[in-house]
Amino acid sequence: MDSRMPRLLIALSAVIVAFIIITQLVSASRTAGRTASDPGSGDWPMWGGTPDRNMVSGAKNLPSTWDVAKKTNVKWVASLGSQSYGNPVVAGGTVFLGTNNEGLRDPKQGGDRGVVMAFDEKTGEFLWQLTHEKLSAGRVNDWPFQGVASSPAVEGDRLYYVSNRAELVCADTKGFRDDENDGPITDEKFKGKFDGDIVWKFDMVEEVGSHPHNLANSSPVIYGDLILISTSNGQDESHVNIPSPKAPSMVAVNKKTGKLVWEVNNVFDKILHGQWSSAAVGKLGGVEQVVIGEGDGWVRGYEVATGKKLWEFDTNPKDSVWPKTRNEIIATPVLFDNKVYIANGQDPEHGEGVGHLYCIDATKRGDLTKDGLVWHFDKIRRSISTGALHDGLLYYPDFSGFLHCIDAKTGKELWQHDLFAAIWGSPLVADGKVYLGDEDGDVVILQAGKEKKLIAEVNMGSSVYSSPVPANGALFIMNRNQIFALAVSAGSPAQSKAGGSRQ
Ligand SMILES: [Ca+2]
Ligand SMILES: [Ca+2]
Protein backbone atom coordinates (compact mmCIF):
# COMPACT_ATOMS: atom_id res chain seq x y z
CA MET A 1 0.00 0.00 0.00
CA ASP A 2 1.17 3.46 -0.81
CA SER A 3 2.58 5.06 2.35
CA ARG A 4 0.84 8.31 1.45
CA MET A 5 -2.60 6.64 1.74
CA PRO A 6 -3.05 6.90 5.53
CA ARG A 7 -2.04 10.57 5.46
CA LEU A 8 -4.38 11.14 2.55
CA LEU A 9 -7.16 9.36 4.42
CA ILE A 10 -6.49 11.41 7.54
CA ALA A 11 -6.55 14.61 5.49
CA LEU A 12 -9.70 13.47 3.73
CA SER A 13 -11.35 12.55 7.04
CA ALA A 14 -10.45 15.97 8.41
CA VAL A 15 -12.12 17.56 5.41
CA ILE A 16 -15.16 15.35 5.89
CA VAL A 17 -15.31 16.12 9.63
CA ALA A 18 -14.99 19.85 8.88
CA PHE A 19 -17.70 19.52 6.26
CA ILE A 20 -19.98 17.74 8.72
CA ILE A 21 -19.35 20.40 11.40
CA ILE A 22 -20.06 23.20 8.92
CA THR A 23 -23.19 21.40 7.68
CA GLN A 24 -24.37 20.98 11.26
CA LEU A 25 -23.68 24.63 12.03
CA VAL A 26 -25.61 25.72 8.95
CA SER A 27 -28.40 23.32 9.83
CA ALA A 28 -28.43 24.58 13.45
CA SER A 29 -28.64 28.17 12.30
CA ARG A 30 -31.45 27.20 9.93
CA THR A 31 -33.25 25.47 12.78
CA ALA A 32 -32.79 28.60 14.89
CA GLY A 33 -34.11 30.65 11.97
CA ARG A 34 -37.16 28.44 11.81
CA THR A 35 -38.27 29.62 15.24
CA ALA A 36 -39.31 32.69 13.29
CA SER A 37 -42.30 31.55 11.32
CA ASP A 38 -42.55 34.22 8.67
CA PRO A 39 -41.97 32.99 5.13
CA GLY A 40 -38.44 34.41 5.00
CA SER A 41 -39.16 36.44 1.86
CA GLY A 42 -39.68 39.60 3.88
CA ASP A 43 -43.40 39.55 3.04
CA TRP A 44 -46.25 38.61 5.40
CA PRO A 45 -48.73 37.13 2.92
CA MET A 46 -51.43 35.77 5.25
CA TRP A 47 -52.90 35.94 8.75
CA GLY A 48 -50.03 34.80 11.00
CA GLY A 49 -47.44 35.07 8.22
CA THR A 50 -47.32 31.32 7.57
CA PRO A 51 -49.87 28.47 7.65
CA ASP A 52 -48.80 27.52 11.22
CA ARG A 53 -50.17 30.96 12.21
CA ASN A 54 -47.36 31.53 14.72
CA MET A 55 -47.10 35.31 15.06
CA VAL A 56 -43.30 35.37 14.97
CA SER A 57 -40.94 36.99 12.47
CA GLY A 58 -37.19 37.01 11.88
CA ALA A 59 -37.41 40.66 10.76
CA LYS A 60 -34.65 42.93 12.07
CA ASN A 61 -34.35 46.61 12.91
CA LEU A 62 -38.04 47.21 13.55
CA PRO A 63 -38.84 50.42 15.45
CA SER A 64 -38.90 50.18 19.25
CA THR A 65 -41.05 53.26 19.43
CA TRP A 66 -42.67 55.90 17.20
CA ASP A 67 -44.89 58.95 17.41
CA VAL A 68 -47.90 59.19 15.11
CA ALA A 69 -48.53 62.87 15.92
CA LYS A 70 -44.93 63.97 15.26
CA LYS A 71 -44.56 61.40 12.46
CA THR A 72 -41.42 60.03 14.06
CA ASN A 73 -40.58 56.63 12.54
CA VAL A 74 -43.80 56.90 10.53
CA LYS A 75 -43.19 56.06 6.89
CA TRP A 76 -46.74 56.68 5.69
CA VAL A 77 -50.37 56.75 6.84
CA ALA A 78 -53.44 55.87 4.79
CA SER A 79 -57.07 56.39 5.70
CA LEU A 80 -59.54 53.49 5.75
CA GLY A 81 -63.21 53.09 6.65
CA SER A 82 -64.52 53.83 10.15
CA GLN A 83 -64.06 50.26 11.43
CA SER A 84 -61.30 47.95 10.27
CA TYR A 85 -61.03 44.30 11.30
CA GLY A 86 -59.46 42.65 8.25
CA ASN A 87 -55.86 42.46 9.43
CA PRO A 88 -53.29 43.69 6.87
CA VAL A 89 -51.10 41.35 4.86
CA VAL A 90 -48.16 42.37 2.71
CA ALA A 91 -47.08 40.63 -0.49
CA GLY A 92 -45.47 41.56 -3.80
CA GLY A 93 -45.10 45.22 -2.87
CA THR A 94 -48.76 45.65 -1.92
CA VAL A 95 -50.60 45.91 1.39
CA PHE A 96 -54.10 44.37 1.46
CA LEU A 97 -56.64 44.78 4.27
CA GLY A 98 -60.34 44.68 5.14
CA THR A 99 -62.42 47.64 6.32
CA ASN A 100 -65.88 49.17 5.84
CA ASN A 101 -67.10 51.72 3.29
CA GLU A 102 -67.25 54.79 5.54
CA GLY A 103 -64.07 56.10 3.89
CA LEU A 104 -66.12 56.29 0.66
CA ARG A 105 -63.28 56.11 -1.87
CA ASP A 106 -65.82 55.94 -4.72
CA PRO A 107 -69.18 57.79 -4.40
CA LYS A 108 -70.59 55.47 -7.11
CA GLN A 109 -70.15 52.61 -4.63
CA GLY A 110 -71.94 54.19 -1.70
CA GLY A 111 -73.78 52.89 1.33
CA ASP A 112 -72.75 50.30 3.88
CA ARG A 113 -70.39 47.79 2.27
CA GLY A 114 -67.53 45.51 3.14
CA VAL A 115 -64.32 46.67 1.49
CA VAL A 116 -60.92 45.21 0.67
CA MET A 117 -58.29 47.83 -0.13
CA ALA A 118 -54.86 47.59 -1.71
CA PHE A 119 -52.05 50.09 -1.06
CA ASP A 120 -48.53 50.48 -2.37
CA GLU A 121 -46.23 49.03 0.29
CA LYS A 122 -43.52 51.70 -0.11
CA THR A 123 -45.62 54.86 -0.42
CA GLY A 124 -49.08 54.05 0.94
CA GLU A 125 -50.66 55.12 -2.36
CA PHE A 126 -54.20 53.76 -2.71
CA LEU A 127 -54.23 51.26 -5.59
CA TRP A 128 -57.67 49.64 -5.76
CA GLN A 129 -60.65 48.41 -3.77
CA LEU A 130 -63.34 45.75 -4.00
CA THR A 131 -66.64 46.58 -2.30
CA HIS A 132 -69.39 44.15 -1.30
CA GLU A 133 -72.96 45.18 -0.54
CA LYS A 134 -74.41 43.95 2.73
CA LEU A 135 -76.52 40.78 2.89
CA SER A 136 -80.20 41.65 2.86
CA ALA A 137 -80.98 39.78 6.10
CA GLY A 138 -79.06 42.42 8.04
CA ARG A 139 -77.30 42.00 11.37
CA VAL A 140 -78.10 38.33 11.85
CA ASN A 141 -75.81 37.46 8.91
CA ASP A 142 -73.90 40.66 8.16
CA TRP A 143 -73.64 43.17 10.99
CA PRO A 144 -73.85 46.83 9.93
CA PHE A 145 -70.60 48.71 9.39
CA GLN A 146 -68.31 45.79 10.29
CA GLY A 147 -66.82 45.61 6.81
CA VAL A 148 -64.59 42.78 5.63
CA ALA A 149 -63.12 41.09 8.71
CA SER A 150 -61.10 38.44 6.87
CA SER A 151 -57.35 38.83 6.58
CA PRO A 152 -56.51 37.96 2.95
CA ALA A 153 -54.07 35.27 1.84
CA VAL A 154 -51.86 36.09 -1.13
CA GLU A 155 -50.06 33.67 -3.44
CA GLY A 156 -48.39 34.98 -6.57
CA ASP A 157 -50.86 37.23 -8.40
CA ARG A 158 -53.91 35.88 -6.56
CA LEU A 159 -55.57 37.20 -3.40
CA TYR A 160 -58.12 35.16 -1.41
CA TYR A 161 -60.45 36.47 1.31
CA VAL A 162 -63.94 35.96 2.75
CA SER A 163 -66.33 38.84 2.08
CA ASN A 164 -69.02 40.09 4.46
CA ARG A 165 -71.44 38.15 2.19
CA ALA A 166 -69.75 34.85 3.17
CA GLU A 167 -68.16 34.46 -0.24
CA LEU A 168 -64.63 33.19 -0.67
CA VAL A 169 -63.31 35.68 -3.22
CA CYS A 170 -60.33 35.08 -5.50
CA ALA A 171 -59.07 38.38 -6.93
CA ASP A 172 -56.17 39.59 -9.07
CA THR A 173 -53.54 41.32 -6.90
CA LYS A 174 -53.12 43.94 -9.67
CA GLY A 175 -56.83 44.80 -9.90
CA PHE A 176 -57.64 46.45 -13.24
CA ARG A 177 -54.33 48.33 -13.22
CA ASP A 178 -52.88 45.65 -15.52
CA ASP A 179 -55.63 46.40 -18.08
CA GLU A 180 -56.71 42.78 -17.99
CA ASN A 181 -59.96 41.35 -16.72
CA ASP A 182 -59.20 37.91 -15.31
CA GLY A 183 -62.03 35.37 -15.34
CA PRO A 184 -64.19 33.33 -15.28
CA ILE A 185 -65.83 36.37 -13.65
CA THR A 186 -65.58 39.26 -16.11
CA ASP A 187 -68.87 41.06 -15.53
CA GLU A 188 -67.69 43.28 -12.67
CA LYS A 189 -69.87 46.36 -12.35
CA PHE A 190 -66.87 48.61 -11.71
CA LYS A 191 -63.79 48.24 -13.91
CA GLY A 192 -61.88 51.48 -13.37
CA LYS A 193 -58.25 51.94 -12.42
CA PHE A 194 -59.15 51.93 -8.72
CA ASP A 195 -61.37 48.83 -8.87
CA GLY A 196 -60.49 45.26 -7.99
CA ASP A 197 -60.60 42.41 -10.51
CA ILE A 198 -62.50 39.32 -9.32
CA VAL A 199 -61.40 35.96 -10.72
CA TRP A 200 -63.98 33.69 -9.07
CA LYS A 201 -66.22 33.51 -6.02
CA PHE A 202 -67.38 30.62 -3.86
CA ASP A 203 -70.61 31.63 -2.13
CA MET A 204 -70.89 29.68 1.13
CA VAL A 205 -74.57 30.59 1.57
CA GLU A 206 -75.51 29.21 -1.86
CA GLU A 207 -73.02 26.40 -2.19
CA VAL A 208 -73.02 24.80 1.28
CA GLY A 209 -76.01 26.43 3.00
CA SER A 210 -74.02 28.37 5.58
CA HIS A 211 -75.99 30.73 7.83
CA PRO A 212 -73.19 33.04 9.00
CA HIS A 213 -73.87 34.40 12.47
CA ASN A 214 -73.37 38.19 12.54
CA LEU A 215 -70.43 38.12 10.11
CA ALA A 216 -68.37 35.70 8.07
CA ASN A 217 -64.78 36.46 8.96
CA SER A 218 -62.51 33.55 8.09
CA SER A 219 -58.91 34.25 7.10
CA PRO A 220 -58.00 31.70 4.40
CA VAL A 221 -55.00 29.42 4.56
CA ILE A 222 -53.57 27.78 1.46
CA TYR A 223 -52.31 24.19 1.23
CA GLY A 224 -51.27 23.03 -2.25
CA ASP A 225 -54.32 23.63 -4.43
CA LEU A 226 -56.66 23.99 -1.45
CA ILE A 227 -58.02 27.09 0.24
CA LEU A 228 -59.28 26.27 3.73
CA ILE A 229 -61.89 28.43 5.43
CA SER A 230 -64.43 28.36 8.21
CA THR A 231 -68.01 28.87 7.00
CA SER A 232 -68.96 30.95 10.09
CA ASN A 233 -72.21 28.95 10.19
CA GLY A 234 -74.10 29.68 13.42
CA GLN A 235 -77.29 30.47 15.27
CA ASP A 236 -80.07 32.78 14.13
CA GLU A 237 -81.01 36.01 15.86
CA SER A 238 -82.95 34.19 18.61
CA HIS A 239 -79.67 32.61 19.83
CA VAL A 240 -81.71 29.42 20.23
CA ASN A 241 -82.18 28.06 16.72
CA ILE A 242 -79.54 26.83 14.32
CA PRO A 243 -81.18 27.28 10.91
CA SER A 244 -78.59 25.28 9.00
CA PRO A 245 -77.25 22.48 11.24
CA LYS A 246 -76.17 20.39 8.25
CA ALA A 247 -73.95 23.11 6.79
CA PRO A 248 -70.23 22.41 7.18
CA SER A 249 -68.03 24.17 9.73
CA MET A 250 -65.10 24.22 7.31
CA VAL A 251 -64.65 23.80 3.58
CA ALA A 252 -61.71 23.18 1.25
CA VAL A 253 -62.01 24.91 -2.12
CA ASN A 254 -59.74 24.43 -5.14
CA LYS A 255 -57.71 27.62 -5.55
CA LYS A 256 -57.67 27.42 -9.35
CA THR A 257 -61.28 26.49 -10.08
CA GLY A 258 -63.16 27.83 -7.04
CA LYS A 259 -64.91 24.45 -6.69
CA LEU A 260 -65.64 22.65 -3.42
CA VAL A 261 -63.19 19.79 -2.72
CA TRP A 262 -64.32 18.63 0.72
CA GLU A 263 -66.42 19.80 3.65
CA VAL A 264 -66.61 18.76 7.30
CA ASN A 265 -69.27 19.02 9.98
CA ASN A 266 -68.92 17.59 13.47
CA VAL A 267 -70.93 20.25 15.23
CA PHE A 268 -74.45 20.08 13.69
CA ASP A 269 -76.89 21.49 16.28
CA LYS A 270 -74.23 21.83 18.99
CA ILE A 271 -73.08 25.28 17.83
CA LEU A 272 -72.96 27.49 20.93
CA HIS A 273 -73.17 30.76 18.98
CA GLY A 274 -71.10 31.40 15.81
CA GLN A 275 -67.91 30.01 14.23
CA TRP A 276 -65.15 32.58 13.90
CA SER A 277 -61.91 30.66 14.34
CA SER A 278 -59.63 30.50 11.31
CA ALA A 279 -57.71 27.37 10.34
CA ALA A 280 -53.99 26.64 10.69
CA VAL A 281 -52.09 24.09 8.58
CA GLY A 282 -48.90 22.20 9.40
CA LYS A 283 -47.22 18.82 9.65
CA LEU A 284 -47.93 17.36 13.08
CA GLY A 285 -46.76 13.83 13.87
CA GLY A 286 -45.72 13.39 10.25
CA VAL A 287 -49.21 14.16 8.91
CA GLU A 288 -50.25 17.36 7.15
CA GLN A 289 -53.13 18.59 9.27
CA VAL A 290 -55.59 21.46 9.23
CA VAL A 291 -56.58 22.52 12.74
CA ILE A 292 -59.51 24.78 13.62
CA GLY A 293 -61.67 25.82 16.57
CA GLU A 294 -65.31 24.86 15.96
CA GLY A 295 -68.73 26.07 17.10
CA ASP A 296 -69.15 23.56 19.92
CA GLY A 297 -65.99 24.80 21.64
CA TRP A 298 -63.92 21.85 20.47
CA VAL A 299 -60.73 22.17 18.45
CA ARG A 300 -60.27 19.54 15.77
CA GLY A 301 -57.47 18.28 13.57
CA TYR A 302 -58.19 16.95 10.07
CA GLU A 303 -56.05 15.39 7.37
CA VAL A 304 -55.72 18.41 5.12
CA ALA A 305 -55.86 16.60 1.78
CA THR A 306 -59.12 14.77 2.53
CA GLY A 307 -60.85 16.40 5.51
CA LYS A 308 -60.70 13.11 7.43
CA LYS A 309 -61.02 13.78 11.18
CA LEU A 310 -57.88 12.80 13.11
CA TRP A 311 -58.52 14.09 16.63
CA GLU A 312 -60.68 16.42 18.70
CA PHE A 313 -60.29 18.26 21.99
CA ASP A 314 -62.93 19.88 24.21
CA THR A 315 -61.65 23.28 25.39
CA ASN A 316 -64.31 23.54 28.10
CA PRO A 317 -64.52 21.81 31.48
CA LYS A 318 -67.34 19.25 31.33
CA ASP A 319 -69.33 21.02 34.08
CA SER A 320 -69.18 24.43 32.36
CA VAL A 321 -72.38 26.10 31.19
CA TRP A 322 -72.84 28.38 28.17
CA PRO A 323 -72.58 31.33 28.23
CA LYS A 324 -71.47 31.83 31.84
CA THR A 325 -68.52 29.46 31.96
CA ARG A 326 -68.59 27.54 28.67
CA ASN A 327 -66.76 29.33 25.86
CA GLU A 328 -66.58 29.28 22.09
CA ILE A 329 -63.32 29.53 20.13
CA ILE A 330 -62.50 32.69 18.23
CA ALA A 331 -58.70 32.41 18.33
CA THR A 332 -56.71 30.76 15.56
CA PRO A 333 -54.72 27.69 16.66
CA VAL A 334 -50.92 28.03 16.59
CA LEU A 335 -49.04 24.91 15.44
CA PHE A 336 -45.53 24.36 16.73
CA ASP A 337 -43.38 21.24 17.18
CA ASN A 338 -46.25 18.71 16.86
CA LYS A 339 -48.38 20.67 19.30
CA VAL A 340 -51.38 22.98 19.12
CA TYR A 341 -51.70 26.09 21.29
CA ILE A 342 -55.12 27.69 21.59
CA ALA A 343 -57.30 29.61 24.06
CA ASN A 344 -61.08 29.87 24.18
CA GLY A 345 -63.25 32.94 24.83
CA GLN A 346 -66.40 34.66 23.65
CA ASP A 347 -67.70 37.32 21.32
CA PRO A 348 -66.37 40.70 22.61
CA GLU A 349 -70.04 41.76 23.02
CA HIS A 350 -70.24 39.21 25.86
CA GLY A 351 -67.56 40.97 27.88
CA GLU A 352 -65.05 39.38 30.23
CA GLY A 353 -65.09 35.97 31.88
CA VAL A 354 -63.11 32.84 32.68
CA GLY A 355 -60.95 31.41 29.92
CA HIS A 356 -58.75 28.42 29.19
CA LEU A 357 -55.50 28.01 27.31
CA TYR A 358 -54.19 24.62 26.19
CA CYS A 359 -51.22 22.86 24.72
CA ILE A 360 -52.39 19.76 22.84
CA ASP A 361 -50.31 16.86 21.51
CA ALA A 362 -51.59 16.57 17.93
CA THR A 363 -49.63 13.38 17.14
CA LYS A 364 -52.32 11.35 18.92
CA ARG A 365 -55.71 10.31 17.54
CA GLY A 366 -59.29 10.28 18.76
CA ASP A 367 -60.70 12.25 21.70
CA LEU A 368 -57.61 13.98 23.07
CA THR A 369 -59.37 15.98 25.81
CA LYS A 370 -57.52 13.82 28.35
CA ASP A 371 -55.05 11.80 26.28
CA GLY A 372 -53.61 14.69 24.32
CA LEU A 373 -53.46 17.29 27.06
CA VAL A 374 -49.89 18.53 27.52
CA TRP A 375 -50.90 21.37 29.81
CA HIS A 376 -53.84 23.58 30.73
CA PHE A 377 -53.41 27.20 31.82
CA ASP A 378 -56.53 28.42 33.62
CA LYS A 379 -55.22 31.78 34.85
CA ILE A 380 -56.18 33.33 31.54
CA ARG A 381 -59.46 35.19 31.00
CA ARG A 382 -61.61 34.82 27.88
CA SER A 383 -59.41 35.36 24.84
CA ILE A 384 -60.07 35.96 21.15
CA SER A 385 -56.35 36.33 20.39
CA THR A 386 -53.89 34.07 18.67
CA GLY A 387 -50.57 33.31 20.40
CA ALA A 388 -46.94 33.83 19.46
CA LEU A 389 -44.37 31.20 20.42
CA HIS A 390 -40.69 32.06 20.33
CA ASP A 391 -37.60 30.70 22.15
CA GLY A 392 -39.72 28.39 24.30
CA LEU A 393 -42.01 31.20 25.44
CA LEU A 394 -45.66 31.51 24.51
CA TYR A 395 -47.07 35.05 24.54
CA TYR A 396 -50.84 34.91 24.90
CA PRO A 397 -53.18 37.85 25.64
CA ASP A 398 -56.72 37.78 27.01
CA PHE A 399 -59.74 39.99 26.48
CA SER A 400 -59.41 41.39 30.02
CA GLY A 401 -56.20 43.12 28.96
CA PHE A 402 -53.45 40.84 30.26
CA LEU A 403 -50.56 39.57 28.19
CA HIS A 404 -49.28 36.28 29.65
CA CYS A 405 -45.74 35.01 29.06
CA ILE A 406 -45.84 31.24 29.53
CA ASP A 407 -43.19 28.51 29.43
CA ALA A 408 -44.33 26.61 26.32
CA LYS A 409 -43.07 23.28 27.69
CA THR A 410 -44.62 23.40 31.17
CA GLY A 411 -47.50 25.87 30.87
CA LYS A 412 -46.15 27.85 33.84
CA GLU A 413 -46.54 31.61 33.73
CA LEU A 414 -43.30 33.60 33.88
CA TRP A 415 -44.83 37.06 33.85
CA GLN A 416 -47.88 39.03 32.85
CA HIS A 417 -48.42 42.57 31.73
CA ASP A 418 -51.62 44.53 32.25
CA LEU A 419 -52.52 46.73 29.27
CA PHE A 420 -55.53 48.17 31.16
CA ALA A 421 -57.80 47.80 28.11
CA ALA A 422 -59.46 45.00 26.19
CA ILE A 423 -57.21 43.12 23.77
CA TRP A 424 -58.77 42.03 20.46
CA GLY A 425 -55.60 41.57 18.45
CA SER A 426 -52.66 39.22 18.70
CA PRO A 427 -49.05 39.78 19.68
CA LEU A 428 -46.20 39.83 17.21
CA VAL A 429 -42.74 38.68 18.30
CA ALA A 430 -40.00 40.14 16.11
CA ASP A 431 -36.57 41.72 16.50
CA GLY A 432 -36.35 40.74 20.19
CA LYS A 433 -39.60 42.52 20.97
CA VAL A 434 -43.26 41.77 21.57
CA TYR A 435 -45.75 44.18 19.95
CA LEU A 436 -49.40 44.20 21.05
CA GLY A 437 -52.27 46.67 20.63
CA ASP A 438 -55.39 47.33 22.72
CA GLU A 439 -58.83 48.91 22.58
CA ASP A 440 -57.56 52.20 24.05
CA GLY A 441 -55.36 52.53 20.98
CA ASP A 442 -52.12 51.79 22.82
CA VAL A 443 -49.45 49.55 21.38
CA VAL A 444 -47.07 48.16 23.98
CA ILE A 445 -43.57 47.16 23.03
CA LEU A 446 -42.02 44.71 25.48
CA GLN A 447 -38.69 42.95 25.43
CA ALA A 448 -39.10 39.32 24.39
CA GLY A 449 -37.76 37.00 27.09
CA LYS A 450 -38.16 35.46 30.52
CA GLU A 451 -37.87 38.81 32.30
CA LYS A 452 -40.59 41.35 31.80
CA LYS A 453 -39.35 44.65 30.45
CA LEU A 454 -41.54 47.37 28.99
CA ILE A 455 -39.71 49.25 26.24
CA ALA A 456 -42.39 51.70 25.15
CA GLU A 457 -46.09 52.35 24.87
CA VAL A 458 -47.42 54.33 21.93
CA ASN A 459 -50.94 55.59 21.34
CA MET A 460 -52.24 55.21 17.79
CA GLY A 461 -55.12 57.70 18.09
CA SER A 462 -57.97 55.16 18.06
CA SER A 463 -58.61 51.53 19.05
CA VAL A 464 -56.18 48.94 17.75
CA TYR A 465 -58.28 45.84 17.07
CA SER A 466 -55.72 44.48 14.66
CA SER A 467 -52.36 42.77 15.09
CA PRO A 468 -49.00 44.31 14.16
CA VAL A 469 -47.58 42.93 10.92
CA PRO A 470 -43.89 42.99 9.92
CA ALA A 471 -42.76 43.14 6.30
CA ASN A 472 -39.53 44.15 4.58
CA GLY A 473 -38.16 46.18 7.50
CA ALA A 474 -41.41 47.96 8.32
CA LEU A 475 -44.18 47.39 10.80
CA PHE A 476 -47.81 47.80 9.67
CA ILE A 477 -50.37 48.68 12.34
CA MET A 478 -54.02 49.42 11.72
CA ASN A 479 -56.28 51.29 14.09
CA ARG A 480 -60.04 51.69 13.54
CA ASN A 481 -59.68 53.98 10.55
CA GLN A 482 -56.06 54.23 9.46
CA ILE A 483 -53.08 52.09 8.58
CA PHE A 484 -49.58 53.16 9.58
CA ALA A 485 -46.34 51.96 8.02
CA LEU A 486 -43.67 52.34 10.72
CA ALA A 487 -39.95 52.11 10.10
CA VAL A 488 -36.77 53.31 11.72
CA SER A 489 -35.67 56.57 10.13
CA ALA A 490 -31.92 57.13 9.85
CA GLY A 491 -30.53 58.92 12.90
CA SER A 492 -33.94 59.08 14.50
CA PRO A 493 -33.72 59.91 18.21
CA ALA A 494 -36.94 57.99 18.74
CA GLN A 495 -35.29 54.67 17.98
CA SER A 496 -34.79 53.32 21.48
CA LYS A 497 -31.66 51.27 22.17
CA ALA A 498 -33.66 49.25 24.67
CA GLY A 499 -34.72 46.77 22.00
CA GLY A 500 -31.59 44.87 22.85
CA SER A 501 -29.86 42.24 20.81
CA ARG A 502 -31.61 39.29 19.30
CA GLN A 503 -30.82 35.90 20.66
CA1 LIG B 1 -56.47 42.32 -13.80
CA1 LIG C 1 -62.45 39.57 -13.48
pLDDT digits (tens, 9 = 90+) for 87-123: 999 999 999 999 999 999 999 999 999 999 999 999 9
Which of 21-30, 182-191, 225-234, 245-254 has the least mean pLDDT? Answer: 21-30
Give pLDDT, residue 503. 31
- Going by pLDDT thresholds of 50, 70 and 90, the confidence category of residue 6 is low
Give pLDDT, residue 38. 86
- Going by pLDDT thresholds of 50, 70 and 90, the confidence category of residue 20 is low
**pLDDT at position 26 over 50:** no
Give pLDDT, residue 247. 98
User: What separation in Å is there between the alpha carbon of 328 and the centre of ligand 2?
Assistant: 37
Buried b (16+ CB within 10 A) or exposed e, 340-360: bbbbbbbbeeeeebbbbbbbb
Can you name the residues that pair with 402 across neighbouring β-strands?
A: 418
Average pLDDT of span 215-240: 97
Give pLDDT, residue 215. 97
Alpha carbon dihedral 349, 355, 357, 358, in 10-degree steps, equals -110
Ligand nearest to the CA of 178: 1
User: What separation in Å is there between the alpha carbon of 150 and the centre of ligand 2?
Assistant: 20
Q: What is the rounded CA–CA span in Å between residue 442 and residue 68?
A: 11
Cα 115 to Cα 109, 128, 133, 436: the distances in Å are: 10, 10, 9, 25
CA 277 from centre of chain: 10
**pLDDT at position 44 over 80:** yes
DSSP 46: S
**Average predicted confidence (pLDDT) for the chain:** 93
Predicted confidence (pLDDT) per residue in 294-343, tens digit:
999 999 999 999 999 999 999 999 999 999 999 999 999 999 999 999 99
Q: What is the rounded CA–CA span in Å between residue 150 and residue 163?
A: 7
- Going by pLDDT thresholds of 50, 70 and 90, the confidence category of residue 30 is very low
User: What separation in Å is there between the alpha carbon of 7 and the centre of ligand 1?
Assistant: 66
Which of 173-187, 257-271, 485-499 has the least mean pLDDT? Answer: 485-499
User: What separation in Å is there between the alpha carbon of 394 and the centre of ligand 2?
Assistant: 42
pTM: 0.91
3-class DSSP state of 9:
helix
**pLDDT at position 500 over 50:** no
Give pLDDT, residue 40. 87
User: What separation in Å is there between the alpha carbon of 207 and the centre of ligand 2?
Assistant: 20
Q: What is the rounded CA–CA span in Å between residue 109 and residue 411?
A: 50
